[in-house]
Structure 1
C-alpha cells in the first residue's frame, strides 16, 4: 500500500507539472492558422490583429491546405483557426451529412471534443461549395439547377468544368456530386487549377462551368449564375473558431474575444469582404482591420 505522504507528494507533483505546463503555454505565442484563399486570409489576418490588439503575442501561419492545417492543429502546431462545420463532420470525422446547420455544428463540436479541440460560437454563415455558369449561357441553355446540368450533360452537352484539385478528390466533392445527380464530366473535360483561377476561367470563356464558393463576391461581379443545389447534396459549411483545449485553458479570454468576432460574421459580410479584395483589389490586412473597426472589435 502506498504511503499517504507519497501519495500526497505524487498528487502535488502532478498538479505542479500541470500548472507549469499551463504557465508555459501562457507564455508562448498564440499560433493562428489559416487556409489559402481570400476569405480565410481575411479572417486569419483579422484574428491575428484582434488578438494583437488585446495584448497577445501572435504567430500567424496562413496559406495552408485544409488537411494540412487540421493536422497541424491536432498535433499542437496551430492553436486556433476558423473552420467549416461540414469539413469537420464529413472530411475529418468521416460521418454522414446531418440534416440541418445546428445538427452539423453540434456533431462537429461533439466529435472534435474527443480530440482536444473546442468549437466556439458559430457564425451565421454558410460558405458551401457550388457550381456556377455565366448567366447568359445558363439562360440560353436553360440550366438553373444541378439537376438541369445533369440532364444537359446526359444529353451530350459536352460542357467543361474548372475545379480546384481538392474538390476534385474530396469525399464531398466532384465524384460523389456526380453520383448523387447521375451524370459525369469526362476526365479530359475537367480543368484543375487553383481556387481563385476557376472564376477567371469561367468569366473568360475558357470553361463552361466552374467550382465557386457561395460567399465569393466574384459570383455577382462576374455575372455568374450559381446553380441551385436542388437535391441538397452539399453540406453546410458554417464558420466557427476552433481552439485547442489546452490553449483555451491557458488563455480563457480568447473565448469571449473570438465569440464577438463570430457574431459579427454573416454571408453578406463575407461577400462584401471578399469583394473588397478580389474585385476592388484592396489589401487583405487593411480589409481585415476595417472589418474589426466597423464592428467595434478593436
Structure 2
C-alpha cells in the first residue's frame, strides 16, 4: 500500500467513523422524549393529554408533566426543561410580561408572541377558546331580572338592588380585579354583598343560592352543567385569555413536523368545545385520557 493509499484509507476510515458518530448523535437526539407540560387543573390536564396522544400517534416519545404550577411551568420552559405547553395569552401579557395597558384579543396575541420570541419561545396559532374571568348568574334568575350584561347588573345595583357577589380573594384585591371593574362599569357592590372565598366554592355558592352573581372562568364545565349564564362583558374589561400552544423555538427548529400538528389541534378547539370536555371530567367524572382520546378521534387528529 502506497503512502497516498494509506492517507486515503485513513481519511476514508475517519469519514466513516465521523458519519457513524453523527448518526448516533442524531439517533440519540431523536430518541430524546418531548417534554409536554401542563398546569394543575382540568382544562390544562386535558390539553396536555391531547398533545401527548397526538405526538405519540405521530411516532414521538413523550414525557408528560401535567401537574405544575403556572410560574414553575413557565420557568421550566424558559430554562429548556419543558418543550411544549399551552398557555393563555392574558397570563403571559399580564403576569410574565407585566403589560398593564388594555389590548384586544389580536393585540394581546401579537404582543406576547413578539415579547416571548426574545425569550426563545414561539407562540403557535391560538385556539378560539378564551378562558377569561367572567361574571355568571343562575340562568333563571338572570332572565327573571332581565340581566344579560354587566352593564345591566350595574344598573340593578345602582337602582338599590342588593345582589350578593362571590369571588376569590385574589380578584377582590388585584389591580385588574373587582375595584377597577366597578369603576369601568360605574357601580359598586355594598361591602356586605361581597363574599370572598376559594375559587372553586364560588360555583357552589351560586348554585346553592348563597350568591346571586359569581366570578367564574368562562370555559369551566360547571357553568353550563349548573345552569349558569355568563353576563356579557359589554365594555371589554376582561383581557383575552386565548388558549395557545407555546413551544421552545430551538425545539421547533429541530422538530419541524410538530408545529403543524399543534396548529391543527388548536384549530379544532373553541370555548364551547373545551367547556364541554371540562364538564365531562369535572361533572361527569370521566377519565381525562378517555375524553381527550375521543376528542382527537372525532376531529380526525388521530385514528384511535
Give the TM-score normalised by structure 1: 0.81
Q: What is the alpha-carbon distance in structure 2 between the residues aligned to residue 250 and residue 169 of structure 1?
A: 44
Kept in 2, the 8 Å contact 1:44–1:62? The answer is yes
1:173 has 2:172 as partner: no
List aligned pairs for 1:264-275, cutoff 5 A: 264-275=268-279
Partner of 1:133: 137
Q: What is the alpha-carbon distance in structure 1 between the residues aligned to residue 261 and residue 234 of structure 2?
A: 37
Partner of 2:301: 297
1:259 has 2:276 as partner: no
Q: Which moved more, 1:149-158 or 1:211-220?
A: 149-158
Deviation at 1:293, TM superposition (A): 0.9
Q: Which moved more, 1:279-288 or 1:181-190?
A: 181-190
Distance 1:295 1:170, change over 3 A: farther
List aligned pairs for 1:3-18, cutoff 5 A: none
How many residues align? The count is: 277
Q: What is the alpha-carbon distance in structure 1 between the residues aligned to residue 296 and residue 281 of structure 2?
A: 16
Q: What is the alpha-carbon distance in structure 1 between the residues aligned to residue 287 and residue 162 of structure 2?
A: 39
Residue of structure 2 aligned with 1:102, choices 101, 106, 127: 106
Distance 1:85 1:150, change over 3 A: same
Aligned partner of residue 212 in structure 1, secondary structure: strand
Partner of 1:243: 247
Residues 53-90 of structure 1, C-alpha deviations (whole Å, 9 max, x = no match) = 22322222223333332233223232211112222223
Q: What is the alpha-carbon distance in structure 2 between the residues aligned to residue 66 and residue 175 of structure 1?
A: 25
Q: What is the alpha-carbon distance in structure 1 between the residues aligned to residue 83 and residue 180 of structure 2?
A: 32
Residue of structure 2 aligned with 1:122, choices 122, 126, 134: 126
Deviation at 1:39, TM superposition (A): 1.7
Kept in 1, the 8 Å contact 2:116–2:122? The answer is yes
Partner of 1:148: 152
Q: What is the alpha-carbon distance in structure 2 between the residues aligned to residue 141 and residue 124 of structure 1?
A: 30
Distance 1:293 1:70, change over 3 A: same
Residues 171-201 of structure 1, C-alpha deviations (whole Å, 9 max, x = no match) = 5433432332244453883322144x43222
Kept in 2, the 8 Å contact 1:90–1:172? The answer is no
Aligned partner of residue 296 in structure 1, secondary structure: coil
Distance 1:200 1:249, change over 3 A: same
Deviation at 1:24, TM superposition (A): 7.0
Kept in 2, the 8 Å contact 1:22–1:249? The answer is no
Partner of 2:283: 279
Distance 1:77 1:208, change over 3 A: farther
Partner of 1:81: 85
RMSD: 2.7
Distance 1:47 1:187, change over 3 A: farther
Q: What is the alpha-carbon distance in structure 2 between the residues aligned to residue 162 and residue 281 of structure 1?
A: 25
Distance 1:23 1:155, change over 3 A: farther
Return the index of the structure with the highest Cα Rg. 2
Q: What is the alpha-carbon distance in structure 2 between the residues aligned to residue 171 and residue 91 of structure 1?
A: 12
1:192 has 2:197 as partner: yes
Unpaired runs of 5+ residues, structure 1, are 1-19
Aligned partner of residue 59 in structure 2, secondary structure: coil
Aligned partner of residue 73 in structure 1, secondary structure: helix
Kept in 2, the 8 Å contact 1:22–1:250? The answer is no
